[in-house]
């Protein structure tokens, strides 16, 4: 039976209260940050397959089936919000965000000789628990640039991964990341620094060894 885990990362709305009235397992992550919340979710998950998602209404539940289709052949299945026909008109995915997201994703793909990667910031993704356990000791990012680190470490660990197109709808509420152009630029810059930094460490033989 699938288990839903809700990570309360110091939310100031009624998220925790609502979660308590559902069958979901509610856990609290006191360290503030998008990455810390996702890392806590990975730690708490006990199923063989783990799916990460945001609870803001941007993703469509039926897209989980797309991830599951490839789960037998890949260690990690990444969603990509780059198919225009699946990006809803209300979604916050203007030309600047689309282009910046694509450029950072292609930088990661190029520097780590990865598979085709077109979206570096899509939370909707699947990972096998065995693969997650290999990554967890090496994850360092607690902020909003967490997702590229997960992919980089997976590639360093020779994990098989693939992207599949998913729906992207309008958000309930305002994003703390893409709701401001300045914040979005800062996050993109952190992602670039992270990617280049890991590549330099790999060239110097100092990259993490994913056992």
**CA distances, 170 to each of 57, 84, 132, 144 (Å):** 7, 14, 29, 19
DSSP type of residue 120: S
Tokens of 75: 């260690």
User: What is the pTM assigned to this prediction?
Assistant: 0.92
**CA distances, 153 to each of 56, 146, 201 (Å):** 27, 11, 12
pLDDT band at 176 (very low <50, low <70, confident <90, very high): low
Report the pLDDT value the prediction gives residue 167, as an integer from 0 to 100.
96
pLDDT band at 89 (very low <50, low <70, confident <90, very high): confident
Helix, strand, coil percentages (3-state) for the chain, rounded to 5, are: 45, 15, 45
- Please say if the pLDDT value at position 150 is more than 90: yes
| Alpha-carbon span 184 to 75, nearest angstrom | 29
Between strands 76-80 and 125-128, the pairing is antiparallel
Least confident of 107-121, 131-145, 165-179, 188-202: 165-179
Show me where the domains of the chain are located: 47-203
Q: In the CATH scheme, what is the code of domain 47-203?
A: 3.90.550.10
């Amino acid at each position: 039976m699938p288990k839903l885990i809700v990570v309360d990362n110091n939310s100031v709305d009624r998220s925790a209260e609502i979660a308590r009235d559902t069958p979901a397992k509610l856990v609290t992550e006191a360290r503030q940050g998008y990455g810390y919340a996702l890392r806590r979710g990975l730690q708490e998950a006990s199923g063989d397959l783990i799916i990460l998602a945001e609870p803001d209404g941007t993703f469509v539940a039926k897209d989980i089936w797309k991830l599951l289709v490839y789960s037998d052949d890949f260690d990690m299945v990444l969603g990509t919000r780059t198919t225009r026909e699946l990006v809803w008109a209300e979604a916050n995915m203007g030309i600047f965000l689309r282009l910046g997201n694509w450029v950072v994703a292609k930088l990661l793909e190029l520097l780590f000789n990865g598979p085709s990667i077109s979206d570096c910031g899509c939370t909707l993704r699947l990972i096998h628990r065995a693969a997650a356990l290999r990554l967890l000791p090496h994850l360092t990012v607690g902020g909003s640039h967490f997702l590229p680190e997960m992919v980089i470490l997976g590639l360093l660990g020779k994990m098989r991964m693939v992207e599949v197109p998913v729906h992207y709808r309008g958000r309930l509420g305002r994003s703390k990341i893409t709701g401001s152009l300045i914040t979005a630029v800062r996050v993109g810059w952190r992602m670039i620094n992270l990617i280049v930094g890991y590549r330099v460490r790999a060239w110097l033989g100092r990259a993490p060894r994913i056992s």
